[in-house]
């Protein structure tokens, strides 16, 4: 319930009360994690950077061998869901699975996808908004390694989130907000649900693609940094370089840009670069979504 109203989801073309929304136990998204999804922010009634999210959703479906699974009317389904819930400031998730198929590992060539649009309320963003997080993030390095691109395509955002789940399980009993995973060579890769950046000698650095999910907020942050005249470098970095950095922060769609208070026992913190990028991000949201 939200303000006395029941949240509705959009499930396979119909608006359904959240408590009654279901998918089949034979759906491959349930059986195997065989599906794609995107998490987005809605500001002022607009889905921020939806064109980029939609493109990545389609790329993931292509990687899964179901290139035509994203319906042509997906934009309309999103609009209908937001309108039905009276939401202009929201969390939005779009999920597309291969749908109901016989219980065997090999997928059928025929695809009748299951498409679900989920929403929930969030506070305003932009220059007049507040972050969804209460404080900078405490981050812990974990033993779980980021699955290499040679095993699972790093660019695909699929329902199979076991890698991130195992990383977050390691945080139980530890005072931390995010788990930092390394690649199989021990270099810093990404958080369980975030990309990581750090500032060293005036340059902004972040792990290179191929070992991390190409986050939409990551991409946007790099663009904002380059526009501001910052040197941006991608590469492979030891975790210790982040610990010793002048500044460090995490990015994802929900958190936007979140400073790292500490990594393990080492205090890091934000700083002028992090602050400037957060301000630039807020201004971008304000301009695109609120007409500011």
Q: How far apart are CA 87 and CA 1, in angstroms?
A: 13
Whether residue 4 has pLDDT greater than 60: no
User: What is the structure's pLDDT at 253?
Assistant: 98
User: What is the structure's pLDDT at 93?
Assistant: 98
* Residues 169-216: tens digit of each pLDDT: 999 999 999 999 999 999 999 999 999 999 999 999 999 999 899 999
Among candidate residues 247, 174, 252, 177, the one with its CA nearest the CA of residue 212: 252
User: What is the structure's pLDDT at 268?
Assistant: 98
Ranges of each domain in the chain? 8-121, 137-289
Superfamily of domain 137-289: D-amino Acid Aminotransferase, subunit A, domain 2 (3.20.10.10)
User: What is the structure's pLDDT at 1?
Assistant: 53
* Residues 214-252: tens digit of each pLDDT: 999 999 999 999 999 999 999 999 999 999 999 999 999
Q: Domain 8-121, what architecture?
A: 2-Layer Sandwich (3.30)
Q: How far apart are CA 90 and CA 81, in angstroms?
A: 11
Written in H, E and C, the secondary structure of the chain is CECCECCEEEECCEEEEHHHCCCCCCEHHHHHCCEEEEEEEEECCEECCHHHHHHHHHHHHHHCCCCCCCCCCHHHHHHHHHHHHCCCCEEEEEEEECCECCCCCCCCCCCCCEEEEEEEECCCCCCCCCCCCCCCEEEEEEEEECCCCCCCCCCCCECCCHHHHHHHHCCCCCCCCEEEEECCCCCEEEECCCEEEEEECCEEEEECCCCCCCCHHHHHHHHHHHHCCCCEEEECCCHHHHHCCCEEEEEECCCEEEEEEEECCEECCCCHHHHHHHHHHHHHHHHHHCCC
User: What is the structure's pLDDT at 5?
Assistant: 67
Q: How far apart are CA 99 and CA 101, in angstroms?
A: 6
User: What is the structure's pLDDT at 6?
Assistant: 86
User: What is the structure's pLDDT at 103?
Assistant: 87
* Residues 47-83: tens digit of each pLDDT: 999 999 999 999 999 999 999 999 999 999 999 999 9
59 neighbors 31 (Cβ within 8 angstroms): no
């Amino acid at each position: 319930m939200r303000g006395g109203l029941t949240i509705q989801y959009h499930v396979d073309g119909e608006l359904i009360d959240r408590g009654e929304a279901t998918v089949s136990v034979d759906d491959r998204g349930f059986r195997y994690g065989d599906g794609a999804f995107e998490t987005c922010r809605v500001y002022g009634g607009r889905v921020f950077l939806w064109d980029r999210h939609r493109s990545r959703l389609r790329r993931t479906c292509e990687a899964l061998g179901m290139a035509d699974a994203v319906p042509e009317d997906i934009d309309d389904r999103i609009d209908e869901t937001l309108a039905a819930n009276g939401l202009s400031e929201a969390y939005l998730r779009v999920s597309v699975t291969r749908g109901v198929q016989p219980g065997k590992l090999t997928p059928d060539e025929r695809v009748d996808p299951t498409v679900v649009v989920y929403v929930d309320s969030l506070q305003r963003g932009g220059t007049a908004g507040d972050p969804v997080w209460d404080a900078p993030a405490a981050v812990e390095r974990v033993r779980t390694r980021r699955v290499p691109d040679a095993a699972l395509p790093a660019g695909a955002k699929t329902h199979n989130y076991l890698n991130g789940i195992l990383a977050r399980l390691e945080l139980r009993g530890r005072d931390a907000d995010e788990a930092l995973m390394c690649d199989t060579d021990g270099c810093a890769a990404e958080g369980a649900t975030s990309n990581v950046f750090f500032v060293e000698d005036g340059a902004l650095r972040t792990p290179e693609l191929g070992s991390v999910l190409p986050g939409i907020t990551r991409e946007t942050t790099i663009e904002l940094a380059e526009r501001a005249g910052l040197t941006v470098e991608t590469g492979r970095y030891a975790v210790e370089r982040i610990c010793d950095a002048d500044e460090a922060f995490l990015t994802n769609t929900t958190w936007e840009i979140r400073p790292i208070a500490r990594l393990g026992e080492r205090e890091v913190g934000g700083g002028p670069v992090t602050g400037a990028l957060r301000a630039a991000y807020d201004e971008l949201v304000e301009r695109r979504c609120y007409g500011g």
